[in-house]
Structure formats: structure tokens, C-alpha cells
A and B are shown apart, each in its own frame.
Chain A
Amino acid sequence: MATTEHLEVPDPAARAAAALGAAPDASDFSDIPGERMVLNMGPSHPATHGVLRLVLELDGEIITRVAPDIGYLHRGDEKIAENMTYTQFIPYTDRLDYLAPLSNNVAYVLAVEKLLGIDQKLPPRCQYIRVICCELARVSAHLLGLGCYAMDCGALTVFMYTFTEREKIYTLIEALTGARFTTSYTRIGGLARDLPAGWTDQLRVFLDGVGVTFDEIDTLLTRNRIFVDRTKGVGVLPKDLAVDYGVTGANLRGSGVEYDLRKAHPYLVYPELEFEVPVGSVGDCYDRYLVRMEEMRQSVRLLRQCLDKLPAGPINVADGKFVLPPKPKVLTRMEELIHQFMLVTEGVNAPAGEVYFGAENPKGELGFYICSKGGGTPHRLKIRSPSFVSISVLPYLLRGRLISDVMPIIGSLDFVMGECDR
């Protein structure tokens, strides 16, 4: 006797609607009128700056609704942080904004040092080297951001020029930390190792050459009729909306808010260095491009000042409770042995309390909120990601624009998914 079995095959539309969520609002595209089309962009797409999925609802070529879908690179960093000591988490910070890993490292250890109360005790050489790392990372990230922005708009040569310079930065970083990308260079209370011999000379050679590339990019893009037509007046983010959305960094400055954490709440040795903060006026994609161009030049100025002022001296706080003591002492003296043992097995003993520290990273304000209940691991570590906020502005910026404006707008916001998704 034959038996019939009923198979439950959900119909694709119902499955899509269920997948998009129960609430019939921004995400539910099942009620679109006849002329509109839903176009899926990403997550695997050459121009989305990582794994970003944009669900675009189009009326011909005009975008009527956008729903960004993030989380494709979510790795659970915050959950992982609750199970590791503060030092063990440093390699995870490399992978946040993976285009500027040194600046993530610096921001994170500054937050931990603020919690521990040793942020004012860093030796001057350590602070200068950290500023060099941050500014080198800024140049590297902006070179990539502008290169990809121009490439997405069609100017492929600019991408080649910027990546040639980035290769030179990678060579420098490899000499300094041992790795091109995943640097993990800073430690709580100091740095992993000192500058290698001859590194400052190599950096000077690089700084002399990179100005030429900035001028070449300038010549190719700033008064280029096609680039200006694609970016001027496109993606205007007004000042009050930029503040309300919580946008920071070059995107905020492009909209006319003169605010830079390095000037407003200076950290490390930024108060002793001279630099200017470029601010836009209109808040369109062209302004954000100009702000980043000028920020790179200011970073080179900062780097030269750091190299001139770099003092000699120790690079770690000389306190065995936070920094591993020198090995000869560990092997011969009791107190240093105990410090070494406690730091390696249990980690730095942080006091109970909470801190928030925000640093001016290339993408914006990268903040770490650490809630500690004492001991070597945080109770909660929240990473305040500037790219997360930049992507949240996309539904506002893209509405009513042409589909060809998606590339300049995404490129000008310059976000990176590693930082957004954590």
C-alpha cells in the first residue's frame, strides 16, 4: 500500500518575507507597487567596502528606499573580550578597522590604561611612537579610502598610485611590528618593542616621496570635471543631521562641524604638536574627499614633527604590576618573578569601575567602553564603531538619488565592515 507523505515546502515569497522580519516597515518589500524593483547589492560586491548588503528599492534609476544589511563580518569580538585578559584582546583590535590596525591598537590600550589609571605615566618616547603609529595608520587608511572611492567612480589610476604608497607603508610597518596588517604592536603600559635601527630614516624617505603622490592625486581628481560632477552636491549631509546621527571623523568635519578629538580632548602628545583640522562647508561627497586629502597632508606634517622631537628613553611604564618586568630580573628576583607570573596567568588586575575612551581614528571616533568588576578580564567591553554609524546614514543619503550615486556616497563615507560588525 502506497503511503503519501506531505512535504512542507514554504513558498519563496513567504520565506523571503519571513526572513526579512515580521514588521511591515523599512525591511518588508512585499508591498511595493508595480513599477518598483528591488535590487540586491552585495554582500559580495567590489564596491561595498567589505561585506555590506544593500537592498535597494528602485523606481527606474531612482532609489526610493534602502535597507543596509550588516553583520556578515560579525565575529563576536565583544563576547570574546569577556573571556580573555586585556592583553589577549589586543590582536582582536587589529581586525576591527583592518586598514589602520595600529590606530586600533593604540585606542584600545589607551582605554585600558585609563581604566588602570596609568595613562598619565606613559614615558614620552612611548607616546611619540604611538602618535607616529596613529598618523601612519591615518595616511594608510585615507590612501586606501580615497583610492577605492576614486576607483569606484571610475578613476582606476588613482587606486594604483595610492596602493603603491601603501605598499611602502606596509614595508615600514613590517619592519616595525613583524606583520603588514595584523600588527598587535601596543601593549598595556607601553609597546611590544622599540623602533628598529634605521626605521626613522626609512620613514623620512617615505614622507619625502608621499607628498608627490598627494599632488598627483590632487591633479587627477580635484578639478577633474567628471569626478566633480559625480561628487559635488551629491550625498549632502547637513550639519544638524550629522550631529543627530552621531557621525564622527572626516564625515562630520565634511559637514561643517569643527571637531577633532585630537584637539578637543587631546591624548598622548598631540597638545605639543602643531596641525590644522580641515573642515568642509557643504557636507557633500566632494567636501569629504577634500577633507581627507588635507588630513593626509596634516598627518605627514605631524609625522615630521614627531620624528624631529622623538626623545630617547624607555618605552614601557616601569611598573611590574602592568608591564612584564625585564627577563634578567624575572629569573633572579622574587618580586619580578611574581609580577611576571601574575601578569601572564591572570592578566593585569584592573580596579572595578567603568571608563569610556574615544580616539580620533581614521574612520571617526573609535571608542572603547570597559565595564570592569575587578580582575584580569572585562565584564563588558563595548566597541563604539564609527563605521557602524556611517552606514546608518546611508538610508538618508541614498533616498531619492540615482543608482550611480551609490558609489560616490559609499566611497565618501569611507567605512569598513570589520569595524562595523566587530
Chain B
Amino acid sequence: MTALDIAQQLQREFGALIASPVEFRGEVSVGVGDAEKMPAVCAFAKEQLGCDYLVDITSIDNHGEDPRFVVVYQLYSYGHRLRLRLKTAVSEEKGELPSVTSVWRAAEWLEREVYDMMGLRFRGHPDLRRILMWDGYPHFPLRKDFPLAGKPTDLPEIAFTQAAPEEGGPFVTVAGGQDSAEREPRVRGPKEPA
């Protein structure tokens, strides 16, 4: 039994919903066409195919593409000792998909983190609130349109975004440049106060 066999069994069961498996570096990824059917696919993967361990749920922001978000489920089967990756797309207008907490309890915290960092809501989650940022934080930090330096918040003494005192000096690296010429310009003037 290989990961490709499991992917093909998923295809036989769900038909056109499951895209052709992609193999890269020895791993198999399978796209699920409709995010609404994700709990059904995951339940089948867990009960019939033995994928009992939900390793991770990740979200990817493809800013500028439609659909904007991709949610990636990393699965593992202890019985067959193999990994499988399920991916599904969510558009920005929809912004939500059904939760898989009914399938694995690990999804409770993993989906909370996806909500916290990317802003995707999970319908049917028992307790969908922020996990790493504080409740009431208005932004979703891992989105591509959120700047690396952060945005000012309503807790200015605790969570602030002003640059550190020496930041912006002549020999300090700036993140986000295309190459090192942009990251380390030769001379920078004194930074204007914000």
C-alpha cells in the first residue's frame, strides 16, 4: 500500500471531486475540488483508509490569485506508515469552510491557528477564537497584505510596532528585499520619527 494507492482509492470513492494526485519528492498531494466536502473526504480517509493522525493544517495566501486561500491538511497513517496531503481552495469572498473537528480532535487547535493567522472561519468548530494573538486583535498577520513590521494596535504600550532604536541605521539589514542589495543598502539617512 503506497500513498498513491490511497489517493487512487479516494478518487474511486469521490470521483471528480478529487484531482489527480501530484507526486513531488516522494510525497503525494491530492487536491479536493470543493472545500464544503472536506469533512466527508477526511472522514473517509480516517475510517476507511486508516489516516488516523492529523499532522498539520496549514493555510497559504496566494494574494492576487482567485481563489485566494489554500488550506492544506497533512495526514499520516500509523497502520500503513505513509503520508498524504489534501489541499483545498477557499476564495476570499467566501472566507470559510467546514471544520474537521468531528473527524480528528487535533483539528480544534490547528483550525484555531489558521483562523487566527489567516482569517478563515471554520463552520462547526466548537470554540473558534484566536489562539496566538489576543482576543480582539483586528488583523490577520499571515496574510500577504499585512506588513512584516506589523500594524499599530490598541495596546500601544504592550504591542507596538515602532522600530527599535538602532533600527534603520546605516548597517542594519532590512527584511523583504529581492536580493541582498535591497536588503542592505549602503547608506541610509536617519529615520524620520513615525
Contacts and interface: CB of A to CB of B under 8 A. Distances in A.
A18 B108 CA distance: 22
A34 B127 CA distance: 24
| SS class, residues of chain A in contact with chain B | mixed
B58 A21 contact: no
A23 B127 CA distance: 8
Contacts of A18: 135-136
Interface size class of B (residues with CB under 8 A): 35 or more
A285 B106 CA distance: 21
A384 B136 contact: no
A5 B179 CA distance: 55
Most buried by A among B58, B72, B127, B181: B58
B171 interface: no
Interface in A215-250: 241, 243-246
B167 interface: no
Which 6 residue pairs are nearest across A and B when measured between Cβ atoms? A246-B106, A71-B132, A345-B179, A83-B175, A345-B180, A392-B109
B34 interface: no
A355 interface: yes
Given A19-B135, A21-B135, A380-B60, A244 B148 contact: no
A353 B129 contact: no
Contact of B55 (A257, A365, A380): A365
B192 to A, nearest CB: 23
A20 B135 contact: yes
Contacts of B132: 70-71, 74, 421
Interface string A252-279: 0000010100001100000000000000
Interface residues of A, number: 50
B41 interface: no
B6 interface: no
B99 interface: no
B78 A27 contact: no
Contact of A26 (B83, B110, B127, B130): B127
Given A367-B56, A369-B72, A243 B24 contact: no
30 contacts: A21-B129, A27-B127, A27-B129, A78-B142, A79-B141, A79-B146, A80-B175, A115-B25, A241-B105, A243-B53, A244-B104, A245-B106, A246-B105, A257-B78, A345-B181, A353-B25, A354-B29, A354-B72, A355-B27, A356-B55, A356-B83, A365-B55, A369-B72, A369-B74, A371-B58, A376-B179, A382-B58, A384-B74, A388-B113, A389-B106
B27 A25 contact: no
Nearest to A355: B25
Contacts of B133: 71, 74
Interface in B161-194: 175-176, 178-181
Interface in B114-157: 117, 126-136, 141-142, 146, 148, 150
A346 interface: yes
B81 interface: yes
Nearest to B107: A246
Nearest to B148: A83
Nearest to A395: B108
Contacts of B25: 114-115, 117, 353, 355
B42 interface: no
Contacts of B113: 388
Nearest to B177: A83
A160 interface: no
Contact of B141 (A76, A264, A369): A76
B52 interface: yes
A346 B177 CA distance: 9
B54 interface: yes
A277 to B, nearest CB: 14
Interface string A306-341: 000000000000000000000000000000000000
Given A117-B25, A355-B24, A392-B108, A384 B180 contact: no
Contact of B81 (A245, A265, A376): A265
Given A27-B127, A83-B148, A355-B24, A243 B55 contact: no
A356 B131 contact: no
B55 A79 contact: no
A356 B85 contact: yes
Contacts of A369: 56, 58, 72, 74
A71 B24 contact: no
A397 to B, nearest CB: 13
Contacts of A264: 81
Interface in B65-88: 72, 74, 78, 81, 83, 85
